[in-house]
Amino acid sequence: STLGRSVRQHTSRTRPDWTRADRRADSHPDFPRPGVRSERPEIAVVVDTSSSMSKQLLDVAITEINSLLRRAGITELTVVVCATTAVRPQRVRRLADLTLRGGGATDLRVGISAAARCRPTPSLIVVLTDGLTPWPSSAPGRTQLIAVVIGIHAGLPTGERITALRIREQQ
């Protein structure tokens, strides 16, 4: 999936680690080299549950969450359900843990802010929406934002550290 590729770009990063030896350290014993450790970023997902999100659009959003949990190697997500107010963040390991509530108007900036305040602090926030919402001008500090617009009814957001994707709903 398109979302899976974007998330893998963030989850496949590595960093040098001096606590573990480099696998080639024996070939040059006089030249110390750090090992490599994979970074597993903390991911928060904001789900739009406003009245403009039909059951069909919510099904696509749930499919994307399931895809993150099963295919992207993510074991647990923080999910913030939002319309104009954000519901208390949920820790989700499987879809059965997820509760969706909402309705009414949409302002996902509230949900994005709530996701950014979660502990541990997410390094990646994924927003699943129909796009009919105001957007922040940039992602919250020290995070990347992936805005996934489901359907073709709204434009894609732009801003600093914001990646926008479009997923067409199934007919």
The identity of residue 144, as a single letter, is: Q
Question: Interior CA angle at 128 toward 126 and 131, to 5°?
Answer: 120
| pTM to 2 decimal places | 0.82
Query: Token digits for 97?
Result: 């843990």
HEC string of 108-160? Answer: HHHHHHHHHCCCCCCCEEEEEECCCCCCCCECCCCCEEEEEEECCCCCCCCCE
Task: Please report the pLDDT score of residue 74 as a whole number.
Answer: 78
Task: Please report the pLDDT score of residue 5 as a whole number.
Answer: 66
List pLDDT tens digits, range 35-89.
Answer: 887 777 789 999 999 999 999 999 999 999 988 888 766 788 999 999 888 889 9
Q: What is the mean pLDDT of residues 28-33?
A: 80
Checking if the pLDDT of 33 tops 90, the result is no
Distance CA 53, CA 66 (A): 18
The identity of residue 155, as a single letter, is: G
Say whether 161 sits in a helix, a strand or coil: coil
Count CA atoms closer than 13 A to 145's CA, side-chain side.
28
